[in-house]
A and B are shown apart, each in its own frame.
Chain A
Amino acid sequence: GAVVSQHPSWVICKSGTSVKIECRSLDFQATTMFWYRQFPKQSLMLMATSNEGSKATYEQGVEKDKFLINHASLTLSTLTVTSAHPEDSSFYICSARASGGSADTQYFGPGTRLTVL
């Protein structure tokens, strides 16, 4: 099946620093990638939709200036958490939909656990 990777798998940073998370589709091209945030024992909450070659679409309540998304190619999307604070500590998961694929199947990355001290 399709493989999506994320890097890093975990990161610990100091409050006020920025952290970049990469999401790559390894064996298919993804015109669209989704970024989710998941707090412990909670569901996945969609943060934004990343579109190759255009601006990301953010969900209501998600600060676009804090969570910068860049979808530079058909296989790579990055999420940068700027000026991170402890409340940003969470599990960040990306998913990708193959070009021309149906929306009912998303391929998820392994997730990045962010801890802000």
Chain B
Amino acid sequence: GQSLEQPSEVTAVEGAIVQINCTYQTSGFYGLSWYQQHDGGAPTFLSYNALDGLEETGRFSSFLSRSDSYGYLLLQELQMKDSASYFCAVRDPETGGFKTIFGAGTRLFVKA
């Protein structure tokens, strides 16, 4: 089967930088995605990495190392509104990438 591992919780202070790691085990690979979900809300797409390296989108960056089956989401200049759950996700290779498998999520608490 396919699996993803990410820390359950991370706490950081406002203005700081935080990195949320994700390791995956899949029989194939179509790329790693990151989603943000606030309590009671729907997940929103943040980023997608298909190739190795760093993708930057404003305060958020995402990194992928396919050889290490590892990626991370980097949040800079943390704001209180960044407190949310963050999910890494992969496309299920057993369905040709059709379905998405989500990690368990990392709850980020941003303190003043």
Contacts and interface: CB of A to CB of B under 8 A. Distances in A.
A44 B107 contact: no
Say whether chain B's binding surface is mostly helix, strand, loop, or mixed.
loop
B104 A105 contact: no
B42 A108 contact: yes
Interface string A63-105: 0000000000000000000000000000001000000000111
B87 A44 contact: yes
A43 B99 contact: no
Contacts of B25: none
B87 A110 contact: no
Interface residues on B, range: 20 to 34
A95 B81 CA distance: 24
Interface string B69-107: 000000000000000000100010000011111111101
Given A41-B107, A43-B104, A44-B102, A105 B30 contact: no
A25 interface: no
Interface of B: 30-31, 33, 40-45, 48, 50, 87, 91, 97-105, 107
24 contacts: A41-B107, A42-B104, A42-B105, A43-B87, A43-B102, A43-B104, A43-B105, A44-B87, A46-B99, A46-B100, A93-B43, A103-B91, A103-B99, A103-B100, A104-B48, A104-B50, A104-B97, A105-B33, A107-B45, A108-B44, A110-B41, A111-B40, A111-B42, A113-B40
